[in-house]
Amino acid sequence: MNIWLECLRRKIRFDYNGKQQINAEDLFELNAKELQSIYRLYSKEYRDCTEDVLDTSIESVEAENALIKRDIVRAVYTVILTEQMAKQDAIEKEETRQEILAVMAEKQKDELKELSIEELQERLDSL
């Protein structure tokens, strides 16, 4: 089952702050703590729905909806976390790149300092 298609087909909304309903797109605007809170809510709802059923092969629509909601919140959290990690990785790579460029510039300065006046003049004339 594709949870995203089921979410769209069932027009699933998520309880937020106990007062309002939000859609799946709105989940991407929430922070990790808010997502964890919503995840716990639907995990508990799913457990509550399935505990009352003697035959665990028969799940109610409420249990299915709770499971889909829980899985969607988990998927959104994973996407957000992956994006944050990629962004942090890009920042670290850029910092490393800038450090390497700075060291290269210093080495080039050191090379120029080793050249004689005549060699420096030749280089200057060739520009």
Greatest alpha-carbon span in the chain: 94
Q: Residue 76: what pLDDT? A: 96
Residue 59: what pLDDT? 63
DSSP 22: E
Query: Has residue 111 been placed in a domain?
Result: no
pTM above 0.95, yes or no: no
For the chain, which ranges sit under pLDDT 70? 52-59
Residues spanned by the domain of 73: 3-92
Structural domains counted in the chain: 1
What pLDDT, on the 0 to 100 scale, is given for residue 58? 56
**Helix, strand, coil % in the chain, rounded to nearest 5:** 75, 5, 20
SS3 19: coil
3-state secondary structure of 15: strand
Is residue 105 a part of any domain in this protein? no
| Cα–Cα distance, 85 to 91 (Å, whole number) | 10
CB 46 within 8 A of CB 63: yes
Domain assignment present for 110 = no
Residues 6+ apart with CB under 8 A from 74: 39
Supply the pLDDT for residue 17.
Answer: 83
Position 100: which residue type?
I
The pLDDT value recorded for residue 68 is 94
Please check whether residue 101 lies inside any domain of the structure: no
